[in-house]
Amino acid sequence: MRILLIEDDTVLGAAVRDQIAGDGQSVDWVTRLDAAHDAQRSAAYDLILLDLMLPDGRGIGFLKSLRARGDVTPVIILTALDQISDRIEGLNAGADDYLVKPFDLAELSARIGSVARRYSGNPNPIISHGPLDIDLAARSVHRDGKPVPLTAREWALFEALLARPGQLLSKAQLEEKLYSFDAEIESNTIEVHVSRLRKKLGSAIIETERGMGYRLGKA
């Protein structure tokens, strides 16, 4: 996934960014709403993490504007505002989840995964695909009953394909899901990850349309 983090607290923002990157996801971090608007014009995001109190305005207005123009990108609010009325306002404005600061970073990862699964149409964290048993919440894979260790990037790539079964994803689309604006990407990075996933999960797990992209193989 590619995630937009809108948070002006530099200590918390850095911690959240590092947590998301450690999970193998791509994250772009901005500290102002105007920068968030610019980022949205430059990239397609799978999820937004939104602080409510920002230097140039309230995040709730950003969220309402997002929903008013028909943008259904999932949004998780991260805020110190902990009153029930604040929660109700955020959820009624279109937020998908509401997390009060301070929060545990592992819980944030779990909330991100839960919201992402709902939007992908598969809220059940346990799925099977051929000889593979996949736990989306635990980020684990078993092949014929045996655990298969995946790196964070391998998991993120596999998860991106799982979320869109049958859909062809181009190399550029996968790079955008896995890497932020400032990341240096080798020309063969996606090919290397695909090759490693095939060795670990089976040669048919990812299909290639030469010159077009990749899709999840049939179970």
Same structural domain, 150 and 169: yes
Distance in angstroms (rounded) separating the CA atoms of residues 115 and 47: 9
CATH number of the domain enclosing 61: 3.40.50.2300
Q: Is 26 exposed, middle or buried (0-12, 13-18, 19+ CB in 10 A)?
A: buried
Q: What is the pLDDT of residues 71-129, one digit of tens each?
A: 989 999 999 998 999 999 999 999 999 999 999 999 999 999 888 878 766 666 788 89
Domains of the chain: total: 2
Cα distance from N-terminal residue to C-terminal residue, the chain: 23
User: 144 and 115: one domain?
Assistant: no
Report the pLDDT value the prediction gives residue 162, as an integer from 0 to 100: 87
Q: What is the pLDDT of residue 180?
A: 67
Is 148 found in the same domain as 102? no
Please say whether the beta carbons of 122 and 102 come within 8 A.
no
- Tell me, yes or no, whether 30 and 108 share the same domain: yes
| Domain boundary residue, one of 119, 150, 174 | 119
Q: Report the phi/psi class of residue 81: left, alpha or beta, with left for phi > 0 and alpha for psi in -120 to 50.
A: beta
Average pLDDT over residues 6-23: 94
Range of the domain at 36: 2-119
**Who wins on pLDDT, 185 or 18?**
18
57 lies in the same domain as 112: yes
Where does a domain end: 99, 119, 139? 119
- Residue 68: is its pLDDT beyond 80? yes
Burial class of residue 86 in the structure, from the number of CB atoms within 10 Å of its CB (0-12 exposed, 13-18 middle, 19+ buried):
middle
pTM over 0.85: no
For position 146, what pLDDT does the model report?
93
The one-letter code for the residue type at 206 is I
6 & 111 share domain: yes
Looking at residue 191, its pLDDT comes to 92
What value does the mean pLDDT take over residues 40-61?
Answer: 93
Same domain, 188 and 104: no
- Whole-angstrom distance, CA of residue 215 vs CA of residue 87: 39
Average pLDDT over residues 174-203: 84
pLDDT recorded at residue 194: 94
| 102 prior amide bond cis, ω within 30 | yes
Distance of alpha carbon 219 from alpha carbon 214, whole angstroms: 15
User: Which CATH number goes with the domain that contains 190?
Assistant: 1.10.10.10
Answer with the residue of higher pLDDT: 125 or 29.
Answer: 29
pLDDT band of 1, cuts 50, 70, 90 = confident
> Strands, DSSP E only, in 31-83?
47-50, 53-54, 57-58, 75-79
* Among candidate residues 90, 119, 148, the one where a domain is terminated: 119
Whether residue 159 sits in one domain with residue 109: no
- Tell me which residue has tokens 């994250």: 27
Judgement on whether residues 48 and 7 belong to the same structural domain of the protein: yes
pLDDT digits 0-9 by tens, 2-14: 899 999 999 999 9
Q: What is the pLDDT of residues 149-181, one digit of tens each?
A: 999 889 989 988 988 888 899 998 888 877 766
Is 178:161 a contact under the CB 8 Å cutoff?
no
DSSP 125: S
